[in-house]
Amino acid sequence: MSEITIKIDGREYKTQEGEYILNAARANDVFIPAICYLTRCSPTLACRICLVEADGKQVYACNAKVKEGMEVTVSTPNILKERRAIMEVYDVNHPLQCGVCDKSGECELQNYTLEIGVDSQSYSIPDTKRENTNWSSVLHYDAGLCIVCERCTTVCKDMIGDAAIKTGARGGEKLSKEAKDSMPKDAYAMWNKLQKSIIVPSNGTEHTNCSDCGECTAVCPVGALVSRDFVYSSNAWELERVPATCAHCSSGCQIYYEKKHTSIANPDEKIYRVTNEWNFVSLCGAGRFGYDFQNDVEGKDVEAFEQAINAFKKADTIKFNSAITNEEAFMLQLLKEKLGVKLINHDAKAFKDFLDSYSKASGSSLYGSDFREVMKSDFVISVGASLRNDNPNARYAFNNVQKMNKGAGLYFHPVGDMLVPTFGKSVEVFNHKVGQEEAVLYLILDLFGDKDKLPVQTKDYLASFHKTVKKTIKEKVMESVTSTVVDKETGESKEVTKKVPKMVDKEVEVDENGLVSILGGSDNFAETFEKMMKKKENFSLIIGEDLYFHPRARNLSRLVALIEDVCDMNLVMIPPRTNSLGVAMICNLDEEESGYIVGYNEHGHFRLGARGFSKLDIPALNQQEGTFVTMNKVVVPTNPALEYKGYELNDILNEFDIGLDETIDFTPKLARFDGFKDIEFDDLPNGYTNTGKENRGYIIDNISVEKQAVSVVEFNDSIVLEGEIAYRCNPQRQFNDFTDKSHQINEEFALYVSPSKAQTLEEEVEVEFDKDTTLKLKVVVDDRIDGDIVLVPDFKSHQNIYSIFGKDRYKTVTIKKG
Amino acid sequence: MGLEKFKDRNVGIQQYKVVEHEAFPKSNAQKFARVMKRMVKGELFVGLWVTLRTMYQALFQDDMHTVKYPFEKLPISPRYRAIHEMLRLLESGHYRCIGCGLCEKICISDCIKIDTKYDENQRKEVTEYTINFGRCIFCGYCAEVCPELAIVHGGRYETSSQQRASFSIFEDMLTPIDALSSQKEYPGFGAVSPNADDNIKKTPLAY
Ligand code: SF4
Ligand code: SF4
Ligand code: SF4
Ligand code: SF4
Ligand code: SF4
Ligand code: FES
């Protein structure tokens, strides 16, 4: 893409070739009215208010692309007439209820009605009764307020991937002929469509049964779609917005906690909702609804604090997980250095080992790309991640590539998923066996690799899977058939020769790829793949947690490095938890826990935690300032939304004389670790620019490390798991103790199974891992899972699931009647 | 009305009278002479006479000028802005306030707070409404902004209290339900102007 110059209202602006006029204008701070367009989604032309004149022709700014030297006029007399008529039409029969509406004050209908200066109404039509409904446990739809801009359906399809809502019939009266003749053209077209539609769940029922991400409520320009919890609880302008970072997964989405006093009787502050810059970042249900996990404590508990100091003094091990800030990780590392304790963190350790081994093979400390690049690619592959559960934004990227870039996708995972294949026509799914991840990476090498760059050994190894076989295929040939027909009118008979298609068997030689069949791919994969590859230029590979928790993780990491090297792909990895990457970069982690264990948000002999049941309370992630490292390799700041009155880790460090005044005084000191920079916390920005550029924190340096001559080894099938298999995987919207505590997130701690598997199980079962380890779990059906593998969640830290699974993410189990 | 009247600062008709009095004494001798003159004239008794006359009129001729506050109060103008009242709908008796929060927003001393929730009838319920009269400056903005004519100023102006913060809650301000029939429409701040109809453009209806 190259830079070009266009003129808007006579002034010159620079922009990128191929950009929509609207985006070009926005990037240059020029205002063009627009309602239905969402950045990162396809234009729907529902509102038509973005009309502009470009080189003398009326076009829609949201779907017309800029050209070098283009001259754009934002308003002409005719366009002003259209806009005024459009806004008047939106106001026809729109309930006069701004007084109670949740959107009042931040409503785009209010804003544009004022902006366009609508002070009288020229149109009318009988109203249709439209009902309020609750689509799910979080979604409230007030059809009366809906202006059918389709932003909700668009974001759900193009970004989220559920396509859980669509336009349905409104049953409104037809527009009169007179209206058609007398109205501006575009306003009429908009009204015609508006009068016919409302929004309904796409599955034909009353309920969406979707991912409950709430992104549709975020994009709705009016008060039609609001979260059920928020309805009529506060006016927008009363809420104070605290820019922060979501604490739940490694996406590290930028969010705003919006808070005010709890009620007249209770002046304590409360978070009422979480909002986001929905044009540039999409949240999941955990981030949007999992916000009330603060640790409310009365004050400093001196006694517990003394106990904690003693516990640290006698500790052999500090155990923690990665739902912590970099500053906390740093402090734990300092404690290790001071006290000589071991640091145990299961998720970060596995990830760190994988990364280390990867960097030795690749020569750089971190994976080469990020998810912003993935979104720009047109072919994306996911290996070892349960895309729907592990990381919502990885899934959004996978989906967005299909929808926006005419992309294709390969999804490799042992657990069948009903949603991923619906992302696009060119999505191929391999439900391979557990343990075949190496074979998957070999297949990728084989399909995408530049064979000349491969080591000879590997090249030969790959070639050994190919053989040429004779195959009979059906082929269409045209055959001439002659028949006699009688002309009805003249009675003459005539001979007519026609060509008709006929299927014949034909023997051809084809190349058969053994890897495809080993992985359970379909027979005509070669053909499908050829279609998928058409016009594809930019490839991405997403690596997930299954590969870090794998008996052959080292070989996998080397294969990944090799793929990055010879396949010219954007490589990204999904850190298992919120800040696993940060912890991996900061802490010196140990293998085995031993002796007296102090648990920091984890199970231990002495427990410090941000959830109620700990001996010493520490602040939750919405009560502290600090930084995270996201999966995009960016150090992002987060701010406290709520007050915390108790002790924090820094107080403990101060008892050992290694603390600082404030927790955030550690932020610039992080520069001690490779990749981090010496920047004060208060200097870290946290927002987006008009162009959608992320302006948050700073990007971690990807440092070159010494490349070691390592070689990849062949895979063997001995580690393949058979029989009853349990997979450590959280249900959607649950990530940790904090999401669990939030009142709007109700996915329980249970065994998640496919509908077919549920048929064979009782309502409650005992999952036996080995003789001494069993878990009693309720069985919950997730109708988006397919196949027999059962999912055991790990979001409750006191259940110690990571220890049960150890270095694997899959285990063979016996499931007994509970 | 043009602006001329406002611009004319010379308000009212000048009706000042010049009081005639003797020249002020200049020397000490003159001063002494004045004192002596007044003593002999018995001016004191003139004042006493006026007092007795008024007393007589008040006690025996029913011509009392003093208002016996707090037993007696003077009527105040309807535009006076005293303690707020919350009105009800005359037909249903339901409180008029819809919980829009505009009064809360516009209040310049930030003394109004409202709690609302989504009720069983899919309506916005006002669960509590308070005004901190320790802060309220009785500016009348709330009454003026209210789209429902729900909050108005009443005539209760006695607001002394032993605490800085003296709150009123919703119940205190709402028209008692049994007094609904005597609820008066408020003509003061924010009331609909008599010519409101002339200022509105009607929206077409398709029925
Ligand atoms: S959606 Fe907007 S215009 Fe409609 S009632 Fe709500 S605030 Fe008013
Ligand atoms: S909550 Fe998310 S998945 Fe569900 S309808 Fe809305 S956008 Fe779609
Ligand atoms: S619900 Fe909101 S976002 Fe969806 S079509 Fe209606 S107005 Fe647009
Ligand atoms: S849980 Fe992850 S994807 Fe969801 S909002 Fe938070 S950071 Fe974003
Ligand atoms: S402005 Fe009127 S209707 Fe709105 S909250 Fe205040 S009193 Fe109630
Ligand atoms: S924004 Fe372009 S048609 Fe709606």
Would you state the pLDDT for residue A430?
96
Nearest CA in chain B to A262: B115
Interface of A with B in 71-110 (CB under 8 A): 98-100, 104
Q: What average pLDDT score do residues A593-614 get?
A: 91
Q: Are A740 and A795 in contact (CB under 8 A)?
A: yes
Checking if the pLDDT of A599 tops 80, the result is yes
Q: Are residues B117 and B50 in the same domain?
A: no
The reply to whether residue A232 touches residue B99, judged by beta carbons under 8 angstroms, is: yes
Would you state the pLDDT for residue A236?
95
List CB contacts of B50: < 8 A, sequence separation 6 or more: none
Counting ligand 3 atoms within 8 A of each CB, the residue from A89, A102, A136, A152 with the most, and so the one to mutate, is A152
Q: Are residues B35 and B127 in the same domain?
A: no
Interface of A with B in 233-252 (CB under 8 A): 233-235, 237-238
- Give which of A423, A418, A447 is closest to A521, Cα–Cα: A447
Q: Are residues B117 and B156 in the same domain?
A: yes
Of residues A98, A100, A261, nearest to B99 (C-beta): A100
- Give which of A292, A262, A234, A224 is closest to A744, Cα–Cα: A292
B148 CB neighbours in chain A (<8 A) are 99
Q: What average pLDDT score do residues B60-78 get?
A: 85
Residue B37 lies in a domain: yes
Would you state the pLDDT for residue A382?
98
Q: Are residues B132 and B185 in the same domain?
A: yes
Q: Are residues B34 and B88 in the same domain?
A: no
Strands (E), A196-341: 197-201, 225-227, 240-245, 254-261, 269-275, 317-320
Checking if the pLDDT of B12 tops 60, the result is no
In 3-state terms chain A splits into helix, strand, coil percentages (rounded to 5) of 30, 25, 45
Q: Which residue has the higher pLDDT, A765 or B192?
A: A765
- Give which of A243, A360, A252, A85 is closest to A635, Cα–Cα: A252
Q: Which domain holds residue B116?
A: 84-202
Would you state the pLDDT for residue B1?
44
Burial class (CB in 10 A: 0-12, 13-18, 19+), A573: buried
Q: Are residues B90 and B181 in the same domain?
A: yes
Ligand 2 atom 8, closest CA: A156
Does ipTM come in above 0.95? no
C-beta A287 within 6 A of ligand 4: yes
Checking if the pLDDT of A639 tops 60, the result is yes
C-beta B152 within 6 A of ligand 5: no
Q: What is the DSSP letter of A261?
A: E
Give the side-chain half-sphere CA count within 13 A for A175. Answer: 20
The reply to whether residue A99 touches residue B102, judged by beta carbons under 8 angstroms, is: yes
Residue A113 tokens, joined: 């009605």
Nearest CA in chain A to B131: A264
Highest mean pLDDT among A552-566, A611-625, A705-719: A552-566
Q: Are residues B116 and B33 in the same domain?
A: no
- Give which of A65, A37, A64 is closest to A49, Cα–Cα: A37
Query: pLDDT tens across A647-706, in order?
Result: 999 999 999 999 999 999 999 999 999 999 999 999 999 999 988 899 999 999 999 999
Residue B99 lies in a domain: yes
For B7, phi and psi rounded to 5 degrees? -75, -20
Return the biggest CA–CA distance within chain A: 113
Q: Are residues B161 and B90 in the same domain?
A: yes
Give the side-chain half-sphere CA count within 13 A for B3. Answer: 1
C-beta A150 within 6 A of ligand 3: yes
Q: Residue B144's domain is classified under what CATH number? A: 3.30.70.3270
Mean pLDDT over each residue of chain A, to the nearest integer: 94
Q: What average pLDDT score do residues A740-754 get?
A: 96
Query: pLDDT tens across B27-61, in order?
Result: 999 999 988 888 888 878 888 999 999 999 999 99
- With bands split at pLDDT 50, 70 and 90, how would you rate the model's confidence at B4? low
Determine the distance from the C-alpha atom of residue A227 to the mean position of all C-alpha atoms in its chain, rounded to a whole number.
20
Would you state the pLDDT for residue B8?
52
Q: Which residue has the higher pLDDT, B188 or A536?
A: A536
Q: Are residues B104 and B181 in the same domain?
A: yes
Interface of B with A in 164-203 (CB under 8 A): 201, 203
Residue B154 lies in a domain: yes
Query: How many independent structural domains does chain B possess?
Result: 2
Segment holding A515, helix H or strand E = helix A514-518
Q: Which residue has the higher pLDDT, A23 or B75?
A: A23
Residue B8 lies in a domain: no
H-assigned helices in A64-204 = 77-91, 108-115, 151-154, 177-182, 185-194
CA distances, A396 to each of A19, A375, A541, A552 (Å): 22, 9, 14, 29
Among all bound ligands, the one having the nearest atom to the CA of A170 is 3
Checking if the pLDDT of A644 tops 80, the result is yes
- Give which of A739, A728, A731 is closest to A782, Cα–Cα: A731
Residue B22 lies in a domain: no
Q: Are A49 and A32 in contact (CB under 8 A)?
A: no
Q: What average pLDDT score do residues A84-113 get?
A: 96
- Strand, coil or helix: what is A111? helix
Mean pLDDT over each residue of chain B, to the nearest integer: 87
A238 CB neighbours in chain B (<8 A) are 101, 104-105
Checking if the pLDDT of B7 tops 70, the result is no
Q: What average pLDDT score do residues A91-115 get?
A: 96
- The angle at the Cα of A280, spanning A274 to A286, to the nearest 5 degrees, equals 35
pTM, two decimals, is 0.90
- Percent of chain A residues topping a pLDDT of 70: 100
Query: pLDDT tens across A542-581, in order?
Result: 999 999 999 999 999 999 999 999 999 999 999 999 999 9
Q: Separation of A149 CA from ligand 3 center, angstroms? A: 5
Would you state the pLDDT for residue B14?
65
Checking if the pLDDT of A493 tops 80, the result is no
3-class SS string, A37-89: CCCCCCCCCCCCCCEEEECCEEEECCCCECCCCCEEECCCHHHHHHHHHHHHH
Number of helical (H) and strand (E) elements in chain B, helices listed first: 6, 5
The reply to whether residue A100 touches residue B98, judged by beta carbons under 8 angstroms, is: yes
Q: What is the DSSP letter of A157?
A: I
- With bands split at pLDDT 50, 70 and 90, how would you rate the model's confidence at B2? low
For A139, phi and psi rounded to 5 degrees? -100, 130
- Give which of A116, A129, A127, A128 is closest to A184, Cα–Cα: A116
Q: Which residue has the higher pLDDT, A619 or A614?
A: A619
- Mutant choice from A92, A139, A140, A263 vs B, greatest count of B C-beta within 10 A: A263
Q: Are residues B50 and B116 in the same domain?
A: no
The reply to whether residue B124 touches residue A232, judged by beta carbons under 8 angstroms, is: yes
C-beta B98 within 6 A of ligand 5: yes
Residue B35 lies in a domain: yes
Enumerate domains of chain A plus CATH numbers. 302-344+579-631+647-676 (no CATH), 352-478+499-573 (3.40.228.10), 719-817 (2.40.40.20)
Residue B113 lies in a domain: yes
Q: Are B148 and A99 in contact (CB under 8 A)?
A: yes
Q: Are A557 and A399 in contact (CB under 8 A)?
A: no
Would you state the pLDDT for residue B5?
52
Query: pLDDT tens across B148-169, in order?
Result: 999 999 888 887 878 777 778 9
Would you state the pLDDT for residue A1?
67
Residue A668 tokens, joined: 């610039």
Within 10 A of A460 (CB to CB), how many other CB atoms are there?
Answer: 10
In angstroms, the CA A273 to CA A346 distance is 32
Residue B17 lies in a domain: no
Would you state the pLDDT for residue A492?
74
Residue B69 tokens, joined: 């506050």
Q: What average pLDDT score do residues A708-712 get?
A: 87
Checking if the pLDDT of A494 tops 80, the result is no
Would you state the pLDDT for residue A550?
96
The reply to whether residue B201 touches residue A232, judged by beta carbons under 8 angstroms, is: no
Q: Are residues B56 and B116 in the same domain?
A: no
The reply to whether residue A232 touches residue B147, judged by beta carbons under 8 angstroms, is: no
In angstroms, the CA A366 to CA A306 distance is 41
The reply to whether residue A232 touches residue B125, judged by beta carbons under 8 angstroms, is: yes
For the ranges A123-132, A456-465, A471-480, A690-699, which has the lowest average pLDDT?
A471-480
Q: Are A35 and A83 in contact (CB under 8 A)?
A: no
CA distances, A522 to each of A509, A527, A533 (Å): 18, 10, 17
Q: What average pLDDT score do residues A12-26 get?
A: 96
Q: Are residues B168 and B134 in the same domain?
A: yes
Whether the link from the prior residue into B70 is cis, omega within 30° of 0, is yes
